[in-house]
Structure 1
Amino acid sequence: MQMPATTLIQSLMVFSGCAACVWIAGARLAYLADALADRFKLAKSLVGLVLLSLATSLPEVATTLTAAMQQSRDLVLNNLFGGIALQTAILAMADFWARGPITNYPRKANHALEATLLVLLLSVALIITNLGETFVVEGVGIGSVAIAVIYCGAIWLLRRYNDSNDWMPVDLPDPDPLAFPAPTGLSDTADVSLILQAVFACVAILFFGVLLVIFAERIADQSGLGAGFVGVTLLAAATSLPELSTSIAAVRIGAYTMAISNIFGSNLIMLVLVFPADILFRAGPILQDTSRTVSLALAFGLVVTAIYLTGLIVRRKPRLGEFGLDSVLVMLTFLGSLVAYYFAR
């Protein structure tokens, strides 16, 4: 996409406008996903894991594939892996709108299993980036193929486990903190209209996501901060806006399990996007010769996911005001990661 030349200030303004559009579309999508789950009798954790996480990951899809075609390795990997800790911190922010720690609400082990499988994928990616790609076929590393295969297996396992009842937590809060159906104003909307609105929201997220990566690269060049630092901070934050707006909207209407699965599902998708990016990146395996920020981003992703995995298992946890201790630790870890990225850039 060829865009006219802009100054740094103009690039920042366009970037902010696109981010605002992505935010609005993402918030609307949460209400639509909740209404569709109720209408078609679907489990909200499954809707969050499959439908909502895929839809809110469209900016990552757009930015990743666009940056890969432009042969920008740093922007691809730092945007993907840097967004994992950021999006997990988004779940921590959602505690502010929840009635108590958000990790107290799940009634099944689905979310703990999601977090465990995410830890597995993050660990595999971290090993590959440190060892380098040993086997390469047509410019595609075997490591990115392995990540794609493990992701498919994880989704298959999560889908099968969705109906399992072999784990039951104790000391549960009220399952329906708000009146249902959720007060979104969509209860009387026709099925076709709900679907069309959801499709329109997805298209808007995808279109403005492409613009985000274009202007993020311009900001990286014009500001002198570099593609690595901008990718792991500014671009990762902008493309995570749908997850932020959808998670906050989901928590406000009481769809806690959908909010949690949305974040973990989005993080899983960001890892598997390494595979198509590797196909489009023609300068060699994309996980070869990565920067320090890539390894740091994966490590911080492991830390925040492990914290929430602990929070999902430990039901009675300390609280700091409205926030659970796990959410506070995730936020502090994320803030610490920003400092680490700056010094490692």
Structure 2
Amino acid sequence: MNMPLLWLSLQFAICALLIARAGFVLSRSADALAEAYGWGRGWVGVALLATVTSLPELASGISAVVLVQAPNLAVGNALGACVVNLAFLVVVDVSQRQQPMYREASASHLLSAAFGVVMMGFVAMSLVIRAPAVLHVGLYSPLLLGLYLLALRSVHTHERDHAAQVSPRAGSTAEHQRRAWRHFILAALVVLAAGTWLPQVADALAGELGLSRTFVGTVFMAVVTTLPEMAVTVAALRLGALDMAIGNLLGSNMFNVFILAVDDAFYTRGPLLADAGPAHAGTAATALVMMGLVIIGLVMRPRGHVLRVLSWISVGLVAAYVINATLVYLGGT
């Protein structure tokens, strides 16, 4: 390995370690805040954690279009992160030894998954058909913003109307709350800084390895920038908070799609999705297929495991992810 490649790989690894560690701190401090204020863990997963753990995708996307001028890197990172999040549901499923996770998951996740399908559908259409633009911003951007805000409000209302009210933890002091907020904000800043650094390293790696920006954004960057979601999900599972784990991943997907609207505002050459490569339409379609499988699982609630390890829904998620990564590698630009 030559020195530039070794140095770039080291920087990439440092980004990954920083994001992973910060993601773990986020999960613990968010859980402490949920207990202190009496917030439901499902809502914390969908809104608070999902937003903060997606900060690397937000920072990376803005950095990619402003500093690197690489629309394929930004779009590939956002859509690839959605696919990685859905694939990580397989890990959640495997962790449930007795029965598939879909047997225990709250039905409220159907709402998050359904909004994710609608938002991703608009993205897929905009990638295939050039959408009208206002100034340099595509028409899809305000639609994605409106859908995201509507999704947050709808999930909150559903949680409030159907979930049991949670009382704040007895004995929680103002100092405990301040400490939790300090840890939460510090971890969020670390995630933001590492996420801003990442796209420049990834773009340089793409050049050194001879890989397309589409592939690097969809696979390499997507995996690293979803490390907070992975860390939070694993920590939530250790706490026995299955709904927080699932809500974090599905909520992050909605935020990742919304990020495309933010990136579009910063990309001044025209509508962002109009300049993205055609391979991204395949990634969007893959995300739609995977979210469809999750919805089927939440409705059918399969009982058995395949080879006593995971549900057939998870088998389909793994197959879709592998096929998409292969197609992007072969056809990316």
> Normalising to structure 2: TM-score of the pair?
0.91
- Structure 1 counterpart of 2:259, one-letter code: L
Give the count of matched residue pairs.
Answer: 320
Match of 1:319, SS state, is: coil
Percent of counterpart pairs with the same letter?
27
- Structure 1 counterpart of 2:83, one-letter code: A
Match of 1:313 in 2: 299
CA contact (8 A) 1:35 1:187 kept: no
Match of 2:228 in 1: 242
**Match among 306, 319, 328 for residue 341 of structure 1:** 328
- Rounded to whole Å, the distance in 2 between the matches of 1:208 and 1:289 is 26
**Match among 11, 16, 24 for residue 21 of structure 2:** 24
Could you tell me how far 1:164 is from its partner in structure 2?
3.1
CA contact (8 A) 1:57 1:266 kept: yes
Q: Does 1:105 align with 2:91?
A: no
* Shift >3 Å, 4+ stretches: 186-189
Match of 2:260 in 1: 274
Distance change in 2, residues 1:315/1:212 (3 Å): same
Q: Does 1:286 align with 2:272?
A: yes
CA contact (8 A) 1:68 1:76 kept: yes
**Match among 78, 88, 91 for residue 90 of structure 1:** 88
Could you tell me how far 1:115 is from its partner in structure 2?
0.6
Match of 1:262 in 2: 248
Match of 1:171 in 2: none
**Match among 302, 324, 338 for residue 311 of structure 2:** 324
- Rounded to whole Å, the distance in 2 between the matches of 1:289 and 1:265 is 27
- Structure 2 counterpart of 1:9, one-letter code: L
- Rounded to whole Å, the distance in 2 between the matches of 1:187 and 1:224 is 55
Could you tell me how far 1:274 is from its partner in structure 2?
1.3
Match of 2:74 in 1: 76
Q: Does 1:11 align with 2:8?
A: yes
- Rounded to whole Å, the distance in 2 between the matches of 1:157 and 1:97 is 29
Match of 2:113 in 1: 115
- List alignment gaps of at least 5 residues for structure 2: 164-168
CA contact (8 A) 2:90 2:318 kept: yes
- Rounded to whole Å, the distance in 2 between the matches of 1:69 and 1:23 is 25
CA contact (8 A) 2:128 2:278 kept: no
CA displacement, residues 250-302 of structure 1 (integer Å, 9 cap, x when unaligned): 11211111111101110001111111211111111111142122101101100
CA contact (8 A) 2:71 2:275 kept: no
Match of 1:287, SS state, is: helix
Q: Does 1:128 align with 2:115?
A: no
Match of 1:173 in 2: none
Match of 2:269, SS state, is: coil
Match of 1:141 in 2: 138
- List alignment gaps of at least 5 residues for structure 1: 1-5, 167-180
- Structure 2 counterpart of 1:328, one-letter code: V
CA displacement, residues 1-42 of structure 1 (integer Å, 9 cap, x when unaligned): xxxxx7111101110111011111111211221222122111
Match of 2:38, SS state, is: coil
> Normalising to structure 1: TM-score of the pair?
0.88
